Chains A and B, each alone.
Chain A
């Protein structure tokens, strides 16, 4: 992974920061070309995303979704699997959740409906990722192409289910009916009124718990160790008696369950219905979050908050500057994936040379 003999802090902290700065510089050039001031835009962005409590509430709300989708990608990456299907898994997870709530919210206690809905979102997400995992393990089809296809199949399927079956008669918007109010997830502003009218809800706490659980599984259980071994060296794993096929299928199912859980935040926490395209690209942002966070729980948390801030701050910025529409931040996401993921070692040779010359000088 690290051919340049860099110390851990340089690989895990300095390189991502350098890459992030590079992405921001390119973004700044584009903003300048659009006729706006990059520094002023950055100021507005940071201010509305992080510096006032209400903005921060929205940032954390978006971050909650990205923690789940980011964890989904990161977990699969440990086993060497590139799960591009988070988008479809989240979409189908939302379906499982909505089916529970729509059928039970009138008759059953919310204490039963909410946990069952969350459980169903993970089960549906897991099932949608199980199939590509099974096909890769047993039939040798490539996980990337299969998960891309499953994204398209999920999109068409959900289009059919929502438009043909779930929209109430006579309703104009393309979404199911509203969930009963008792099943709405409690918002954090009930305990922290300073957050204002923001949709950040208790699924943020769930997301933090998921991060902790992820760390625990990867570093403290033999299964997590096996997953990493399969990712690093499948031959060694096989020799050590680890079932590669079983691991691949299991990892994909867990990854899909995490992506499915991302639906809980946006639907039960905020929109309170099942809408067309409610995922809004969160599955793809998860790829960026995992890559920039280097699969580390703290890294994933930080980069999820960063991407949440980009969405929230970007939205406010586009209201003030008509030349910078919210789509600018889709472009910036792409740049961050390019610099932090694909060209992660761009600065490694230079940095390594710099550190070595410093070491030599201090040795003399």
Chain B
């Protein structure tokens, strides 16, 4: 048991959660407006690629983040065009975006860098970790020192932005005019339309907000977590974010708790790899990897809590009906 350190699991959890938090909050906007967004995965991957390329070329992480957001928003607009203008199948559109991006990013990365679908390390193009003032002074104090230096401090700015986004999204969705319209359009677009709210423009705005957040998610993945782009590096994070949404009943704070749970399990899996537990023996990492997915299935089935989706989700809006 000595090999497992709960403290380092928590630190790893905080470091890996932002990818999920940004993406899940992005999906929250889209889905609360009534549009199923399984293209989260593709948006994360496209943004990771764009931000890694630009951060590498300019050696400035901020330009990388900006490029990631722009590309992710363009994909959000494409998804919007299909789902809002064309009234196409939202699931199929999302699948198509995921598959296209997975192929295209590899091809472009190979074309630009000739390194088997990855970019060179970003070096200066990465964010610096921020330290909380005074954390050096208390470094030797047992719990407080660890808390300030590793758990709360010592992260890059995007980590703080992810955790700040949670109350912000909660406030926007529940306490602003836009949020009210968003919920109305997602629950009953016909009533919203009768009340003079434009369903189409509300949904486009929601998708764009989702695009910005997914852009941040991908940028965090490439610029902060790994420091380079790798083919298919989103590795199911978009789908996990979607599962977190279901877990959290499409509410910002609960969804974030779901993200933290998933991040905790992935940190636990890395820690448990090859460790012999008393009475159980070696637990294979691939079996621990399954836990979040199984938990999601159980929650989906309503065995733990009932998840309530926006009522009009997945239904294209046709004004005349």
Contact = CB atoms under 8 A, between A and B. Distances in A.
A327 B101 CA distance: 10
Contacts of B161: none
B99 A333 contact: yes
Nearest to A34: B111
Contact of B107 (A141, A146, A291, A325): A325
Contacts of B95: 84, 284, 287, 337, 341
A139 interface: yes
Contact of B293 (A153, A332, A337): A153
Contacts of B305: none
Contacts of A144: 36, 38, 91
A337 B96 contact: yes
B92 A287 contact: yes
B120 interface: no
A346 interface: yes
A152 B102 CA distance: 17
A150 interface: yes
A88 B290 CA distance: 13
Nearest to A332: B103
Contacts of A338: 82, 92-93, 96-97, 100
A20 interface: no
B91 A82 contact: yes
B297 A146 contact: yes
Given A160-B286, A284-B99, A334-B101, A34 B92 contact: no
Given A139-B302, A156-B287, A334-B101, A149 B86 contact: no
B67 interface: no
B288 to A, nearest CB: 9
B96 A30 contact: no
Contacts of B317: none
Contacts of B93: 338, 341-343
A149 B296 contact: yes
B242 interface: yes
A325 B286 CA distance: 30
Interface string A321-364: 00111011111111101100111111000000000000000000
A17 interface: no
B239 interface: yes
A148 B96 contact: no
Interface in B68-99: 82, 86-89, 91-93, 95-99
Interface string A49-82: 0000000000000000000000000000000001
A293 B191 CA distance: 37
> Which residue, of A84, A135, A146, A156, has the highest number of chain B Cβ atoms within 10 A?
A156
A330 B99 contact: yes
Contact of A164 (B97, B239, B284): B284
A157 interface: yes
A111 to B, nearest CB: 36
Interface string B291-321: 0011011001111000001000000000000
B89 A135 contact: no
B302 A325 contact: no
Given A34-B111, A152-B236, A153-B294, A327 B300 contact: no
B293 A152 contact: yes
Interface string A162-187: 01100000000000000000000000
Contact of B103 (A139, A149, A163, A329): A329
Nearest to A159: B286
B302 A140 contact: yes
Given A156-B286, A159-B286, A343 B242 contact: no
> Which residue, of B89, B98, B242, has the highest number of chain A Cβ atoms within 10 A?
B89
B110 interface: yes
B188 interface: no
A149 B82 contact: no
Nearest to B309: A142
A357 B38 CA distance: 40
A342 B84 CA distance: 11
A342 B286 CA distance: 34
A287 B93 CA distance: 12
B239 A341 contact: no
B302 to A, nearest CB: 5
A333 B101 CA distance: 11
Nearest to B116: A325
B106 interface: yes
- The 9 A-B pairs of least Cβ separation, nearest first, read A334-B100, A330-B103, A331-B103, A334-B99, A141-B300, A338-B96, A342-B93, A337-B96, A342-B88
Interface of B: 36, 38, 82, 86-89, 91-93, 95-104, 106-107, 110-111, 117, 231, 236, 239, 242-243, 246, 284, 286-287, 289-290, 293-294, 296-297, 300-303, 309
26 contacts: A34-B107, A140-B302, A141-B302, A149-B243, A149-B296, A149-B297, A150-B293, A160-B287, A284-B99, A287-B95, A327-B102, A327-B103, A327-B107, A327-B117, A327-B231, A328-B107, A334-B98, A334-B104, A337-B95, A337-B96, A337-B99, A338-B92, A338-B97, A341-B96, A343-B88, A345-B86
